[in-house]
A and B are shown apart, each in its own frame.
Chain A
């Protein structure tokens, strides 16, 4: 069964840091681009970051550029999101998601999602 399991969320003060992890199983992780998508309380979906299967191509939303870094360890089937300089507006449920496209990736078509991990930024 194809699965994604996020962890690492929690309560952090403004300006603080947090690292999210997403462990994948049931598919050849290195063959697929992966993305992080977030959803603030009561709000819609916002795409955050995407990373190619080999880790050589990265995309980030303007709202997180310079603060968030996406990375992966294909030997461990794990995707990461390092979040620095956190702000109140970063409060959200963060989902990791697998791309539909084998290889280069679409970053828009996400066919497997984790259950999400909650990040709360507050003093």
Chain B
């Protein structure tokens, strides 16, 4: 199983706000930045959030990242059908599990 824990699935309806969580430990999320990736079906991952809450150029402000203690979350507001994808959290890990660990991914379905 993955070092960072994510729920395998999430869902929402268009326009809704959904949150995807990522749980870690003191050696990863607790002491390092969290990153979030979006992977649309059949495509390469795309960086969505870096350094906990920063958005790369071109990423809509509907996407927000949060971190508290050893957990992090990705919030998507104004949900759209094109947001249906897999979402992964990632962090540097200072323990033997590292150096870079990913969550198992959350498949977001837009109903």
A→B interface (CB under 8 Å): 35, 37, 44-47, 50, 59, 61-62, 95, 100, 106-111, 113-116
Assembled-state Cα–Cα distance A59/B99 (Å)? 7
B→A interface (CB under 8 Å): 2, 32-33, 35, 37, 39, 44-47, 50-51, 56, 86, 88, 90-92, 96, 99-105
Question: A61 contacts which chain B residues (CB < 8 A)?
Answer: 99-100
The smallest C-beta distance from B49 to any residue of chain A, in angstroms, reads: 9
The smallest C-beta distance from A101 to any residue of chain B, in angstroms, reads: 9
Could you write out 7 A-B pairs with CB less than 8 Å apart?
A44-B103, A47-B99, A61-B99, A100-B56, A107-B100, A109-B47, A110-B45
The reply to whether A110 and B47 contact each other, CB–CB distance below 8 Å, is: yes
Q: Which of B32, B86, B92, B99 has the most CB of A within 10 A?
A: B99
Contacts A47-B90, A106-B92, A108-B92 given; does A95 touch B105 at CB 8 Å = no
- CB-nearest residue of chain B relative to A100? B50
Assembled-state Cα–Cα distance A110/B50 (Å)? 9
Question: B32 contacts which chain A residues (CB < 8 A)?
Answer: 108
The smallest C-beta distance from B52 to any residue of chain A, in angstroms, reads: 11
Question: B99 contacts which chain A residues (CB < 8 A)?
Answer: 47, 50, 59, 61, 107
- CB-nearest residue of chain A relative to B99? A59
Question: A116 contacts which chain B residues (CB < 8 A)?
Answer: 44
- CB-nearest residue of chain B relative to A45? B102
Q: Which of B33, B45, B88, B101 has the most CB of A within 10 A?
A: B45
Contact of A46 among B46, B51, B96, B102 (CB under 8 A): B102
Question: A35 contacts which chain B residues (CB < 8 A)?
Answer: 100
The smallest C-beta distance from A43 to any residue of chain B, in angstroms, reads: 9
Assembled-state Cα–Cα distance A47/B47 (Å)? 14
The reply to whether B90 and A108 contact each other, CB–CB distance below 8 Å, is: yes
Assembled-state Cα–Cα distance A61/B102 (Å)? 12
Q: Beyond the given A107-B100, A108-B100, A113-B46, please list 5 additional residue pairs across the A-B interface where CB-CB is below 8 A.
A: A44-B103, A45-B39, A106-B92, A108-B33, A110-B45
